[in-house]
Amino acid sequence: MEPDELFDPVDTDPSIPDKLIDRTLKYLPNLVRVDVERKRGTNSWKKVNGFKVGADLNGDTDQTAEQVSGLIVMIAQSDHDQDGGTQHYRAKYHARGKNGQIQRKTFAFKLTDESDEAEPTLDKLEEQEVLAVAFDRAISLIEIQTRHIDALNQQMLSQAQTQAGQTAPLLQTIETLVSKYHEGLNMQATALQAVAEMERSSKEVEAKAERDKALIDILAVAAPKAFEQFGSYLSKRKGDEPAEKSEPIQTEKKTKTGQADGAGARPPEPQPAAEAAPQPAPEPEPQMSDEQLENPLTTFAHAFRDSILSEQ
């Protein structure tokens, strides 16, 4: 490989970036020529030097990628040694395509005063390629994350459905327990009401028994007198009791008194006889009917009512 213009290399064994070697190795099978250019403006590049790449009888390149890359770096270092500073360079590869046409590919790098080693830089095309690769990777990552999120959502949905299926029987069981609890409360209330009713009935029975006992005690005391009155009542009804003699006794006393007082007194003057007042006829004694004789209990009740006195 002979350069288009001879130059004095700064370093015969320069440090070559790995990316430059990879790019050279990529185009080496069909490589025809390499030009080294320096950047002059935003999109302006000036050729510094160049060289042809030799080929064997079969048309294959007889140089290695390290040799080609090393010559590119030495040409750039020689030009940078003249001006100094930070300079941007690029290697323009002339490679033959499948149809025989020459295709041009580039690789950019820079040299600085602080370091003699070439530092790879990217041109707009390479930047676009890098951005495209980055975008592709970002899109792939987003797709992976989206699929992962979808899978998680499906799992959450499945778990929610499973929990819903478990919740429905649980709710039904709770509803059954609540209804049974209400039934138990109703039964307890009914039992308490029945117990209270039994206690009330028992107290009423006890009170009635006490009243009956008191009544019996009273009747035991009043029974002899009641029977005595009842006997008197029956005797009066049957007419066995003799009539009272109060009026004759009073007449006899008057007669005796008159005889005693009339011994020394003047006989009374005769008075006109007063008309005798009619005497009421005595009421007939009521007699017991056959119905009363057949119902002694009724007769006893009426007799007790008629014979009871006011103080009793």
When comparing pLDDT for 249 and 92, which is higher?
Answer: 92
Q: CA-CA distance, 259 to 261, in Å (whole number)?
A: 6
Query: Which of the two residues, 164 and 256, has the higher pLDDT score?
Result: 164
What's the pLDDT band for 289 if we cut at 50, 70, 90?
A: low
**Residue 125: both structure tokens together:** 């095309």
pLDDT for residue 58 is more than 50 = yes
User: What b/e readout covers 193-224, taking b as 16+ CB neighbours within 10 angstroms?
Assistant: eeeeeeeeeeeeeeeeeeeeeeeeeeeeeeee
Domains assigned to the chain: 18-121 (3.30.1490)
Band of the pLDDT at 235, cuts 50, 70, 90? confident
- For residues 21-25, average pLDDT: 89
For residue 262, is pLDDT > 80? no
pLDDT at 36 over 50: yes
Length of the chain: 312
Q: What percent of the chain has pLDDT over 70?
A: 71
Q: What is the mean pLDDT of residues 123-139?
A: 75
Whether 57 has a pLDDT exceeding 60, the answer reads no
What integer best gives the mean pLDDT of the chain? 77
- What lies within 8 Å, CB to CB, of 259 at 6+ separation is none
Q: Which residues of 89-112 are buried (b: 16+ CB within 10 A; e: fewer)?
A: bbbbbbbeeeeeeeeeeebbbbbe
Among 43-57, 201-215, 225-239, 297-311, the range of highest mean pLDDT:
201-215
| Residues sharing a CB contact under 8 Å with residue 163, sequence separation 6 or more, in sequence order | none
